[in-house]
Amino acid sequence: MTIARFTKSFTQQEPIPEDGIEAAIEVMRSGRLHRYNVAPGEESHVSALEREVAHWQGSAYALACSSGGAALRIAMRAAGIGVGDVVLTNAFTLAPVPGAIVAVGARPVLVEITKDLRMDLDDLSAKIARHRPAAVMASHMRGHLCDMDRLTAICADAGVPLIEDCAHTMGAKWNGRRSGSFGLAGAFSSQTYKHLNSGEGGLLVSDDADFMARAIILSGSYMLYARHGAAPSEAHFRNARLDMPNTSARMDNLRAALLRPQLARIEDAIDRWNERYHATEAVLAGCSRIALPARPAQETFVGSSIQFRLPGIAPQDATRFVADAAELGVELKWFGAVDPVGFTSAHPSWRYVDPQSLPRTDAVLAGLFDMRLPLTFSTDDCRQIGHIIVACANALAPSEAS
């Protein structure tokens, strides 16, 4: 059978909503791009975004930052994490997560993952006992939530703060509870390929007033913290305003203006992402060589990307598989490659992290492939992509992908 080549771009996002464009133009015409540059009695777009995020998330407080990585760094510093502290995080994540840990002077210790791409909670328990960490940073990599009830119980029993990296799970839930609401704090990203798009940007949420007061000062509020839309009361800033350094990691009004209309439409976007995910998944599930991660009944996910494994595939054949798919217009990322490519990397290439033995993770990553599902694709596009992937998998010799 001849497979038609796919011709759409895997990096083309939907346009910003028209009301977001109009709001951004208004901000530019005013010249008031800085979040605190407002007229008397006026609320900035950043402050309004914080208030709207807190309401949508169901959190007491929210802080808009310059990036998701900045939100993670601020979260750790506000939690008192610093030089020499151990922070446990997933072995399967993206480089900004261990990078944020290293940036505050802490030491990342990586936790094994399961074949379903979730943090291995048995390994987590063992490493908490061994390392007595200052925090656990659960990275919900590519939108896969682990058993959040068990995770929170493990952290609570050990007295270890939990910080959630929710860059890929904005809108996801576990037993009806939103990701980012299970621990001390949740950090989100609005980088272009996430669920909200402002080019770069980050959001931090928490129900802890003293923690959020420290985070707001760290973000660079100076003494203007009262101009935040979802902030604690003045009493919580009395010490924080003098104790915390200013790290200048603020979001600006231009990006907030772009984000507010997207947040208002996020539930519709989640439904459309999941339609595309299920259309792709249904085709891939028909191929015996492809292993898809199980999705627990407790998880409500956001299918903005899809992952699958070709168990037992050799490195040279994985390279060929990616190249064959690319020839047919399908852009796959392979996490088993020795050298990092684009945004994709694995723990052996993070030389700022102490080398660690992670045999179970390495076995999973050796055959793990990843693909974006932008909303500019139709469900028919996703089915076509699925058929291309299946054809490329079936073209491998039996010994190459068992």
Tell me the average pLDDT across 63-79: 98
pLDDT of residue 1: 52
The two three-digit tokens of residue 360, written as one number:
């179970």
Residue 3 lies in a domain: no
Residue 130 and residue 209 in one domain: yes
Q: Are 27 and 131 members of one domain? A: yes
Domain-located, residue 10: no
Whether 254 shows a pLDDT value over 70: the answer reads yes
Task: Tell whether 378 and 249 lie within a shared domain.
Answer: no
Query: Same domain for 211 and 147?
Result: yes
Note whether 280 and 243 are same-domain residues: no
CB 247 within 8 A of CB 100: no
The phi, psi pair for 315, rounded to 5°, reads -55, -45
pLDDT of residue 341: 86
Domain end among 264, 296, 319 = 264
Kindly tell me if the per-residue pLDDT of 393 is higher than 70: yes
Boundary of a domain, candidates 264, 290, 316: 264
In a domain, 272, yes or no: yes
pLDDT tens, residue by residue, 209-244: 999 999 999 999 999 999 999 999 999 999 999 999
Whether 5 is in a domain gets the answer no
Q: Residues 128, 120: contact at Cβ < 8 Å?
A: no
Question: End-to-end CA distance of the chain, in Å?
Answer: 23
Mark whether 89 and 168 lie in a shared domain: yes
Examine the pLDDT at 371 and tell me if it is beyond 90: yes
Is 7 within a domain? no
Which amino acid, 203? L
Query: Which has the higher per-residue pLDDT, 247 or 343?
Result: 247
Both 213 and 350 in one domain: the answer is no
Question: Distance (Å, rounded) from C-alpha 362 to C-alpha 364?
Answer: 5
Q: At 7, is the secondary structure helix, strand, or coil?
A: coil
Closest CA to 6 of 276, 303, 326: 326
On whether residue 344 sits in a domain, the answer given is yes
- Does residue 95 sit in the same domain as residue 216? yes
Do 108 and 61 share a structural domain?
yes
At 339, is the pLDDT very low, low, confident or very high (cuts 50, 70, 90)?
confident
Give the angle 386-330-2 at the CA atoms, nearest 5°.
Answer: 65
Query: How far is the C-alpha of 371 from the C-alpha of 161, rounded, in Å?
Result: 32
Q: Specify if 274 maps to a domain.
A: yes
Whether residue 35 has pLDDT greater than 60: yes
Q: Do 138 and 222 reside in the same domain of the chain? A: yes
Examine residue 302 and state whether it is found in any structural domain, yes or no: yes
**Domain with 214 in it: what CATH number?**
3.40.640.10
Per the prediction, the chain carries an average pLDDT of 96
Written as six digits, the tokens of 388 are 């291309």
Do 247 and 332 have their domain in common?
no
Question: d(Cα 136, Cα 163) in Å, to the nearest integer?
Answer: 6
CATH code (residue 356): 3.90.1150.10
Q: Which two tokens stand for residue 355?
A: 């080398």
Each residue's pLDDT tens digit, 283-332: 999 999 999 999 999 999 999 999 999 999 999 999 999 999 999 999 99
Residues 189, 224: one domain? Answer: yes
> In the listed set 209, 237, 264, which residue is the last one of a domain according to the structure?
264
Burial class (CB in 10 A: 0-12, 13-18, 19+), 107: middle
Which residue(s) pair with 119 in the sheet? Answer: 113
Domain hosting residue 370, numbered range? 266-394
Contact yes or no for 243/254 (Cβ under 8 A): no
List, in sequence order, the alpha helices (H) in 132-166: 148-158
- Total domains in the chain come to 2
Which pair of structure tokens corresponds to residue 69? 């990585």
Q: How far is CA 8 from the centre of its chain?
A: 24
Model pLDDT, residue 345: 87
